[in-house]
């Protein structure tokens, strides 16, 4: 039913119009110059952007990000030295420490926001963009991309970086803090993640998926 | 000014593909029928997020209830030489101020006290304004909504700080940090308000305008 529906309508207003996601206003899609962004005329929501090479750039940032994410997890982020003892912390060990301290739910929240969601974002983005680039879109591409878009807010590594800075200041005058190897990789990871979300133009992926669907009908 | 709904179209929440409501039935009867699937991304289509208001209310009330233990229960206990000192969110900020770390105190105050209150109040205000079908400054209300949605997650910073301290400061009787139930309650408040903001549909703010103008037309 949905396939016949879309085919039937592809000729009229639906194709060259867009509804504002924040206020539902119907606007015609303008032809955008490179780096141009359109906003809703009623509520100023960002509607569409045209970024040159968005898919290639995003893919590059995602691959860089994945490598940095792996490095960030191999070595400790911070170590604390006191009374002859050294305590190390990494992304996973932070979540695990809460589990050991009888806070399994809190531990799960940390595990999801600092490990699981960032990892799925990186791996999922790479997978989808490669599929889009090589024209090997299958029935799972769209649901997977939807999942990535809706879990985007739950990867919180940049907030975790802020927390590291806060912990550094708090502990600074109490004990010796040693920056781990991974901390540098982690800072670069945050940079690639923000560049990734800046360069990703979801509409480019959706357009590819839509074209593909129309061909298959 | 025509909306997608007025034109009998539904915009996909994810891919913004416009689909026609089948056979021009209005949304209420369409709801009873089989769901409409987006031809591009296969998500089920809704003109507005289903039950947006009641779900936002429920999540918001749950967050408000948990806000009490989040602020009264200790979030962590710092133990020095066997002497434990439990800290709540507010006493943590006070300690930082007393130690002269005011930039840090300000940051934690903003993330852990100001932003959650701002978020709860904004969402309450938005819900109430929609219940009263207010047409007061829809654009400003939409901007308020966007700010709430954007800054909300940064409240998690205190939870992460606690997690890091627990992971790092484990020196037996000399010094140790352990997490308390307040931290979990606070994390739950942040997560529930994030869900509340997510399930709130900003288009409802603008629907009141639409009803207003159509009412005027029919009155004439
Ligand atoms: Zn708009
Ligand atoms: Zn869709």
Q: Quote the pLDDT of residue A34.
A: 87
Q: Quote the pLDDT of residue A12.
A: 59
Kindly write down the DSSP assignment for every residue of chain B, as one continuous string: --BTTTTTEEE-TTT--EEEPGGG--HHHHHHSPPEE-TTT-PEE-SS-TTHHHHHHHHHHHHHHHHHHHHHS-SEEEEETTEEEEE-HHHHHHHHHHTT-HHHHHHHHIIIIIHHHHHHHHHHHHHHHHHTT--S-HHHHHHHHHHHHHHGGGGGHHHHHHHHHHHH-EETTTEEEEE-HHHHHHHHHHHHHHHHHHH--THHHHHHHHHHHHHHHHH-
Q: Quote the pLDDT of residue B25.
A: 53
Q: Is A146 a residue whose pLDDT tops 60?
A: yes
CA-CA distance, B73 to B87, in Å (whole number)? 8
Residues 121-160 of A with CB under 8 A from B: 139, 142-143, 145-146, 149-150, 153, 156, 159-160
Closest to A198 measured CA to CA, from A39, A41, A49, A40: A49
Q: Which helix (H) or strand (E) element contains residue A133?
A: helix A117-133
* DSSP label of A29: P
Rounded alpha-carbon distances, angstroms, from residue A101 to A94, B89, B160: 11, 19, 15
Q: Is A124 a residue whose pLDDT tops 50?
A: yes
Q: Is A30 a residue whose pLDDT tops 90?
A: no
Contact A87, A96 (CB under 8 A): no
The nearest CA of chain B is from the CA of A40 a distance in Å of 11
Q: Is the dihedral of CA B122, B195, B192, B201 positive or negative?
A: positive
CA-CA distance, B174 to A198, in Å (whole number)? 46
Judged by phi (left if over 0) then psi (alpha if -120 to 50, else beta), residue B82 lies in left
Using DSSP's 3-state secondary structure scheme, residue A91 falls into: helix
Q: Is A156 a residue whose pLDDT tops 60?
A: yes
Q: B27 vs B199, which has greater pLDDT?
A: B199
Residue A48, φ and ψ in degrees, nearest 5:
-140, 150
* Chain mean pLDDT for chain A: 88
For domain B52-208, the CATH architecture is Up-down Bundle (1.20)
A17 with B146: Cβ contact below 8 A: no
Average pLDDT for residues A117-132, to the nearest whole number?
A: 96
Here the ipTM equals 0.90
Q: Quote the pLDDT of residue A13.
A: 67
Q: Quote the pLDDT of residue B83.
A: 87
Q: Quote the pLDDT of residue A109.
A: 97
Q: Which range, of B1-5, B110-114, B183-187, averages the lowest pLDDT? A: B1-5
A53-202 carries CATH number 3.10.450: no
Q: Quote the pLDDT of residue B211.
A: 63
Q: What share of chain B in percent tops pLDDT 70? A: 90
CA-CA distance, B164 to A89, in Å (whole number)? 7
pTM (2 d.p.): 0.90
Query: pLDDT for A36-65, tens place per residue?
Result: 899 999 999 999 998 888 999 999 999 999
Query: pLDDT for A59-118, tens place per residue?
Result: 999 999 999 999 999 999 998 888 788 888 899 999 999 999 999 999 999 999 999 999
Average pLDDT for residues B127-137, to the nearest whole number?
A: 91
Candidates A24, A138, A165, partner chain B, best to mutate (most B CBs within 10 A): A24
Q: What share of chain A in percent tops pLDDT 70? A: 92
- Stated length of chain B: 220
Residues 6+ apart with CB under 8 A from B219: none
Q: Which helix (H) or strand (E) element contains residue A79?
A: strand A78-82
Q: Quote the pLDDT of residue A15.
A: 78
A97 with B170: Cβ contact below 8 A: yes
Q: Is A168 a residue whose pLDDT tops 70?
A: yes
The nearest CA of chain A is from the CA of B74 a distance in Å of 14
Q: Is B81 a residue whose pLDDT tops 90?
A: no
CA-CA distance, A36 to A54, in Å (whole number)? 13
Q: Tokens representing B47?
A: 């003109």
| Rg of chain A, C-alpha, whole Å | 22
Q: Quote the pLDDT of residue A16.
A: 86
CB atoms within 10 A of CB B98: 10
Q: Tokens representing B92?
A: 């943590």
Question: How would residue B29 be classed by pLDDT, with cut points 50, 70 and 90?
Answer: low
Question: How would residue B33 be classed by pLDDT, with cut points 50, 70 and 90?
Answer: low
Candidates A1, A17, A19, partner chain B, best to mutate (most B CBs within 10 A): A19
Query: Domains of chain B: which residue ranges?
Result: 1-47, 52-208
Q: Is A130 a residue whose pLDDT tops 90?
A: yes
B164 with A156: Cβ contact below 8 A: no
| Rg of chain B, C-alpha, whole Å | 23
Q: Does B73 touch chain A (CB under 8 A)?
A: no
Question: How would residue A3 be classed by pLDDT, with cut points 50, 70 and 90?
Answer: very low
B3 with A24: Cβ contact below 8 A: yes
Query: pLDDT for A183-211, tens place per residue?
Result: 999 999 999 999 999 999 999 999 888 88
Average pLDDT for residues A124-139, to the nearest whole number?
A: 92
Angle between helices B181-199 and B52-72 (to 10 degrees): 160
Closest to B21 measured CA to CA, from A12, A5, A16: A5
Residues 145-184 of B with CB under 8 A from A: 145-146, 153-154, 156-161, 163-171, 174-175, 178-179, 183-184
Query: Domains of chain A: which residue ranges?
Result: 1-50, 53-202
Q: Is B154 a residue whose pLDDT tops 60?
A: yes
Q: Quote the pLDDT of residue B208.
A: 86
Q: Quote the pLDDT of residue B73.
A: 96
Question: How would residue B172 be classed by pLDDT, with cut points 50, 70 and 90?
Answer: confident
Contact A25, A42 (CB under 8 A): yes
Residues 9-68 of A with CB under 8 A from B: 9, 13-14, 17-19, 21-26, 42-45
Q: A212 vs B126, which has greater pLDDT?
A: B126
Q: Quote the pLDDT of residue A215.
A: 64
């Amino acid at each position: 039913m949905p396939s016949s529906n879309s085919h039937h309508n592809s000729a009229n207003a639906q194709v060259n119009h867009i509804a504002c996601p924040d206020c539902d206003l119907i606007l015609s899609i303008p032809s955008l110059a490179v780096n141009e962004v359109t906003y809703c005329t009623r509520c100023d929501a960002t509607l569409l952007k045209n970024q040159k090479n968005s898919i290639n750039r995003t893919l590059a940032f995602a691959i860089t990000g994945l490598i940095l994410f792996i490095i960030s997890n191999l070595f400790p982020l911070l170590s604390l030295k006191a009374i002859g003892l050294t305590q190390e912390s990494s992304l996973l060990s932070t979540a695990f420490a809460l589990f050991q301290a009888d806070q399994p739910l809190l531990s799960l929240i940390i595990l999801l926001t600092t490990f699981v969601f960032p990892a799925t974002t990186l791996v999922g983005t790479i997978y989808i963009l490669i599929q889009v680039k090589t024209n090997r879109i299958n029935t799972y591409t769209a649901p997977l991309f939807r999942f990535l878009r809706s879990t985007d807010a739950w990867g919180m590594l940049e907030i975790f970086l802020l927390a590291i800075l806060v912990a550094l200041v708090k502990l600074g005058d109490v004990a010796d803090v040693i920056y781990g190897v991974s901390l540098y990789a982690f800072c670069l990871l945050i940079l690639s993640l923000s560049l990734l979300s800046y360069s990703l133009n979801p509409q480019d992926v959706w357009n590819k998926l839509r074209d593909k669907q129309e061909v298959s009908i | 000014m025509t909306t997608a709904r007025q034109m009998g179209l539904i915009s996909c929440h994810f891919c913004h593909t416009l689909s026609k409501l089948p056979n021009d039935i209005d949304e209420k009867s369409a709801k009873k029928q089989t769901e409409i699937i987006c031809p591009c991304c296969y998500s089920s289509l809704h003109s507005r997020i289903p039950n947006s208001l009641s779900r936002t209310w429920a999540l918001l009330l749950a967050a408000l209830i948990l806000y009490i233990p989040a602020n009264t229960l200790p979030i962590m206990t710092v133990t020095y030489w066997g002497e434990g000192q439990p800290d709540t969110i507010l006493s943590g900020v006070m300690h930082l101020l007393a130690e002269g770390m005011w930039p840090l105190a300000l940051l934690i105050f903003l993330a852990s006290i100001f932003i959650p209150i701002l978020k709860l109040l904004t969402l309450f205000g938005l819900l109430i304004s929609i219940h009263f079908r207010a047409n007061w400054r829809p654009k400003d209300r939409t901007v308020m909504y966007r700010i709430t949605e954007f800054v909300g997650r940064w409240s998690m910073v205190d939870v992460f700080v606690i997690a890091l301290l627990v992971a790092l400061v484990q020196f037996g009787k000399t010094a140790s940090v352990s997490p308390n139930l307040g931290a979990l309650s606070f994390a739950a408040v942040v997560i529930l308000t994030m869900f509340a903001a997510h399930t709130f549909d900003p288009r409802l703010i603008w629907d009141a305008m639409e009803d207003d103008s159509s009412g005027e037309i029919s009155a004439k």
